[in-house]
Amino acid sequence: MFKARIFTLYPELFPGPFNEGLFGKALKEKIWELEKVNIRDYATDKHKTVDDTPYGGGSGMLMRPDIISRAIEDNIKKSEKIIYLSPRGKLFNHEIAKDLSNQKVINLLCGHFEGIDERVLIKKNIQEISIGDFVLSGGETAAYAILDAILRYIPGILGNKNSTEDESFENGLLEYPQFTKPQIWEEMTVPEVLLSGDHAKIKDWRLSQSEAITRDRRPDLWQKYKKN
Ligand code: SAH
């Protein structure tokens, strides 16, 4: 069983979106498990303080290494991967998601304030992952995003086993346009080929649409695709 363990100051934010839909169903069926660690439980003063001012000055506060370290030692086995959601991290993508879905347990450490004391990241061999070139106020929303992407690859969670196979990025391309009922909506009709029942033709059309959209919107992906 796949387990996600979330280290957070706001455990009430979880399971959050993962209580719903297929993820929620799979959670109830114990196809995966979510464990929450409240970092604040590892503070020792009576105010349960987890942060302090940065050495060298600067605005904002930092999460203390000793508190995070205790939270880790109390919950994690040595061989487990620990990921700190951080704008300095390796940029997350579907390949990393797929890779992480092969772990038995992943630990997601959500930062707050200006982040975390560097020493605990080094000492505990923590890997940093970013979800994009922007700054969030806390790691929880980033953890939602990466956990969602990982869970899609856990067998038995998505209804249809093919449903990850046709999606954007799977073949190095963005997805083709899709249409459902009504067939005519606001005077716009569905592309003729999709009504033809000719599966080979439909496949060709979708591929050429995927290629055109990728070339137009994501020259970086297009260059890679053409090389392969
Ligand atoms: N001072 C830090 C930003 C701290 S933002 C810096 O400049 O790098 C506060 C917390 O939000 C971080 O500890 C991290 O857990 C989370 N966070 C912010 N942006 C993120 C991003 N792009 N990806 C993943 N996590 C992010």
Q: What are phi and psi of 189, to 5 degrees?
A: -105, 165
Average pLDDT over the chain reads 97
**Region(s) of the chain under CATH 3.40.1280.10:** 2-151
Residue range 37-54: mean pLDDT, rounded: 98
At residue 75, the pLDDT reads 98
DSSP code of 194?
G
Q: Which residues pair with 185 in a beta bridge?
A: 188
Task: Decide if domain 2-151 falls under CATH 3.90.1150.10.
Answer: no
CA-to-CA distance for 126 and 214, rounded, in angstroms?
Answer: 34
At residue 192, the pLDDT reads 98
DSSP code of 132?
S
At residue 163, the pLDDT reads 74
143 C-beta closer than 6 A to ligand 1: no
CA-to-CA distance for 101 and 56, rounded, in angstroms?
Answer: 39
62 C-beta closer than 6 A to ligand 1: no
Residue range 29-35: mean pLDDT, rounded: 98
CA-to-CA distance for 146 and 168, rounded, in angstroms?
Answer: 16
Which atom number of ligand 1 is nearest to the Cα of residue 130? 23
At residue 159, the pLDDT reads 79
pLDDT tens, 110-144? Answer: 999 999 999 999 999 999 999 999 999 999 999 99
Tokens coding 162: 């093919």
pLDDT tens, 54-75? Answer: 999 999 999 999 999 999 999 9
Q: How many A from CA of 206 to the centre of ligand 1? A: 38
Percentage above 70 pLDDT, the chain = 99
| Nearest of 92, 181, 186 to residue 130 by alpha carbon | 92
Q: How many A from CA of 116 to the centre of ligand 1? A: 9
At residue 94, the pLDDT reads 96
Query: How confident is residue 148, by pLDDT bands cut at 50, 70 and 90?
Result: very high
At residue 68, the pLDDT reads 98
8 C-beta closer than 6 A to ligand 1: no
206 C-beta closer than 6 A to ligand 1: no
Q: How many A from CA of 92 to the centre of ligand 1? A: 13
Q: What is the DSSP string of 158-178?
A: SSSTTTTTTSTTTTSSPPPP-
Task: Decide if domain 166-228 falls under CATH 1.10.1270.20.
Answer: yes
pLDDT tens, 154-210? Answer: 999 997 765 788 889 989 999 999 999 999 999 999 999 999 999 999 999 999 999
Q: What are phi and psi of 88, to 5 degrees?
A: -90, 0
Question: Can you count the helices (H) and strands (E) in the chain?
Answer: 7, 9
At residue 162, the pLDDT reads 57
Q: How many A from CA of 141 to the centre of ligand 1? A: 10
Which atom number of ligand 1 is nearest to the Cα of residue 84? 15
Which atom number of ligand 1 is nearest to the Cα of residue 92? 23
177 C-beta closer than 6 A to ligand 1: no
CA-to-CA distance for 150 and 107, rounded, in angstroms?
Answer: 13
Q: How many A from CA of 137 to the centre of ligand 1? A: 6
**Region(s) of the chain under CATH 1.10.1270.20:** 166-228
H/E stretch holding 195 reads: none
DSSP code of 154?
S
At residue 101, the pLDDT reads 97
Pocket-testing residue among 86, 107, 147, ligand 1, by greatest number of atoms within 8 A of Cβ: 86
